[in-house]
């Protein structure tokens, strides 16, 4: 995959991308994310840009995000912001930054949810060639889920990938929250994955962190995807995550089913996919996520 331009300061990036006389005239903080600082930048020529920065992060954190956006864009199925560049600015920012097209927000068109579902289905059905070795699950390189590393080592079984690269690393890092009974339950769930999950009919490119905060309505009135944690996997893992923090309206799921189908038994697998995200939240934000994690471990270890 092509590597994007990267710069040693925000100022150099702006000058190189927009010309010698162009400067930042306004930097407006945007709230809503939970990992990075976000800003709307206005340039002297009137251009608006979106910048994410993080004083504690290496630039590779943002190049991974850019690669994810690029992978989604390569399917041609759904809008994502164009990537301008990444960089490291030790002075002004004290760390790494990512510059993207600014998505101007709009009003949802009347069939927003149906179209979003069809676009997501098209992304899931797109050829995943080049994103991981053919016939395997994972991604060309590791990336991040929130601020934590996400291992994408290719595996020719989806179920084995989900065990080795998704559940096991999170369970290992969360071990301090668990008593002996919890740990036994976790082992049981890992042993039983083949009885609970199914191999997909075809590998799909997943957004990987598809909650409502990562979907923006653009000025075209349609859904734009941001902040991905992409990999090639079973499409239903993305659908499961849409249900984790509130869910989308029923019309979205009906339209998705019509466009791509959802395999029988999905509802019984959903919480196991979401165990990954809840463990990740437990590891990032602390024990308020522990009861949900325990409930899912209870359910699947007794099944
Ligand atoms: P984080 O990496 O901290 O989770 P997000 O990607 O969620 O940050 O973005 C933070 C905020 O910026 C959110 O409110 C989001 O809606 C907004 N945002 C993200 N990308 C863009 C963009 N390209 N254009 C305009 N606003 C954006």
The CA distances from residue 97 to 7, 11, 20, 243, in Å, are 9, 12, 20, 31
Catalytic residue chosen out of the listed positions 209, 238, 254, 298: 209
Q: Do 133 and 82 fall into the same domain?
A: no
Indicate whether this model's pTM tops 0.85.
Answer: yes
| Domain C-terminal end among 101, 129, 150 | 101
Report pLDDT for 4: 61
pLDDT per residue as tens digits for the range 161-201: 999 999 999 999 999 999 999 999 999 999 999 999 999 99
Which domain, by its residues, includes 167?
Answer: 112-301
Q: What is the mean pLDDT of the chain?
A: 95
Q: Stretch 274-286: mean pLDDT, rounded?
A: 97
Q: Do 93 and 129 fall into the same domain?
A: no
Q: How far is the CA of 38 from the centre of ligand 1 (A)?
A: 6
Would 107 be classed as within a structural domain?
A: no
pLDDT per residue as tens digits for the range 247-256: 899 999 999 9
Would 25 be classed as within a structural domain?
A: yes
Q: Stretch 101-116: mean pLDDT, rounded?
A: 98
Q: How far is the CA of 40 from the centre of ligand 1 (A)?
A: 10
Q: Is the pLDDT of residue 274 over 60?
A: yes
Q: Do 185 and 279 fall into the same domain?
A: yes
Q: Is the pLDDT of residue 1 over 80?
A: no
Q: Do 207 and 263 fall into the same domain?
A: yes
What gap in Å lies between CA 150 and CA 170, rounded to an integer? 9
Would 274 be classed as within a structural domain?
A: yes
Would 1 be classed as within a structural domain?
A: no
Long-range CB contact pairs, 295-299, < 8 A, 24+: 296/271, 296/272, 297/182, 297/185, 297/186, 297/189, 298/185, 299/271
CATH of the domain at 124: 3.90.1200.10
Q: Is the pLDDT of residue 303 over 80?
A: no
Would 69 be classed as within a structural domain?
A: yes
Report pLDDT for 33: 79
Q: Is the CB of 260 under 6 A from ligand 1?
A: no
Nearest CA to ligand 1 atom 5: 33
Range with lowest mean pLDDT among 56-60, 80-84, 120-124: 56-60
Nearest CA to ligand 1 atom 8: 33
Q: Domain count for the chain, please give it.
A: 2
Q: Do 255 and 285 fall into the same domain?
A: yes
Q: Do 92 and 120 fall into the same domain?
A: no
Would 26 be classed as within a structural domain?
A: yes
What is the best residue among 227, 229, 281, 285 to mutate for testing ligand 1's pocket, by most ligand atoms within 8 Å of CB?
227
Q: Is the pLDDT of residue 2 over 70?
A: no
Chain centre distance of CA 52? 15
Q: Do 27 and 97 fall into the same domain?
A: yes
Q: Stretch 274-296: mean pLDDT, rounded?
A: 98
How large is the C-alpha radius of gyration of the chain?
20
How many CA atoms within 13 Å lie on the side-chain side of 256? 21
Q: How far is the CA of 157 from the centre of ligand 1 (A)?
A: 33
Q: Do 137 and 237 fall into the same domain?
A: yes
CATH of the domain at 74: 3.30.200.20
CB contact at 8 A, 89 and 97: yes
Would 187 be classed as within a structural domain?
A: yes
What is the best residue among 27, 37, 38 to mutate for testing ligand 1's pocket, by most ligand atoms within 8 Å of CB?
38
Show Cβ contacts of residue 85 under 8 Å, excluding neighbours closer than 6 positions.
Answer: 4, 5, 6, 7, 13, 17, 98, 99
Q: Is 209 a catalytic residue?
A: yes
Q: Which ranges constitute the DSSP H helices of the chain?
A: 10-18, 59-75, 112-125, 158-161, 168-173, 180-196, 235-242, 250-260, 266-285, 290-302
Q: How far is the CA of 28 from the centre of ligand 1 (A)?
A: 13
What gap in Å lies between CA 111 and CA 264, rounded to an integer? 26
pLDDT per residue as tens digits for the range 210-240: 999 999 999 999 999 999 999 999 999 999 9
Q: Stretch 28-49: mean pLDDT, rounded?
A: 93
Backbone angles phi, psi at 139, to 5 degrees: -155, 160
Q: Is the pLDDT of residue 134 over 90?
A: no
Q: Is the CB of 32 under 6 A from ligand 1?
A: yes
Q: Do 91 and 126 fall into the same domain?
A: no
Nearest CA to ligand 1 atom 1: 33
Nearest CA to ligand 1 atom 10: 33
Q: DSSP secondary-structure letter at 3?
A: P
Q: Do 97 and 116 fall into the same domain?
A: no
Report pLDDT for 3: 47
Q: Is the dihedral angle over the CA atoms 121, 203, 142, 182 positive or is it negative?
A: positive
| Domain C-terminal end among 45, 71, 101 | 101
CB contact at 8 A, 262 and 239: yes
Q: Do 165 and 81 fall into the same domain?
A: no
Q: Do 131 and 52 fall into the same domain?
A: no
| Domain C-terminal end among 43, 78, 101 | 101
Q: How far is the CA of 292 from the centre of ligand 1 (A)?
A: 27
Residue 5 banded pLDDT, cuts 50, 70, 90: confident
Q: Is the CB of 213 under 6 A from ligand 1?
A: yes
Residue 152 banded pLDDT, cuts 50, 70, 90: very high
Would 11 be classed as within a structural domain?
A: yes
Question: What is the percent of the chain with per-residue pLDDT over 90, rounded to a whole number?
Answer: 90
């Amino acid at each position: 995959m092509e590597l994007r331009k990267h710069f040693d300061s925000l100022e150099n990036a702006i000058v190189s991308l927009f010309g010698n006389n162009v400067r930042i005239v306004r930097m407006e903080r945007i709230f809503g994310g939970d990992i990075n600082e976000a800003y709307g930048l206005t340039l002297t020529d009137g251009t608006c840009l979106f910048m994410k920065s993080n004083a504690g992060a290496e630039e590779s954190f943002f190049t991974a995000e850019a690669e994810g956006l690029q992978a989604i864009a390569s399917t041609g199925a759904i809008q994502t912001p164009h990537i301008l560049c990444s960089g490291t600015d030790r002075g002004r920012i004290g760390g790494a930054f990512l510059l993207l097209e600014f998505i101007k927000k709009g009003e949802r068109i009347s069939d927003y949810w149906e179209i979003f579902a069809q676009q997501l289905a098209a992304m899931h059905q797109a050829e995943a060639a080049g994103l991981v070795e053919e016939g395997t699950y994972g991604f060309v390189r590791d990336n991040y889920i929130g601020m934590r590393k996400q291992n994408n080592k290719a595996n020719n079984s989806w179920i084995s990938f989900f065990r080795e690269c998704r559940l096991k690393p999170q369970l290992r890092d969360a071990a301090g929250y668990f008593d002996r009974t919890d740990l036994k339950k976790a082992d049981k769930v890992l042993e039983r994955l083949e009885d609970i999950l199914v191999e997909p009919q075809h590998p799909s490119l997943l957004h990987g962190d598809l909650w409502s905060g990562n979907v923006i309505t653009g000025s075209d009135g349609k859904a734009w995807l941001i902040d991905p944690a992409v990999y090639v996997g079973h499409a239903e893992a993305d659908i499961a995550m849409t249900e984790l923090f509130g869910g989308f309206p029923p019309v979205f799921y009906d339209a998705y089913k019509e466009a791509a189908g959802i395999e029988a038994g999905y509802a019984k697998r959903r919480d196991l996919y979401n165990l990954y995200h809840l463990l990740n939240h437990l590891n990032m934000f602390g024990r308020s996520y522990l009861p949900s994690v325990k409930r899912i471990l209870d359910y699947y270890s007794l099944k």
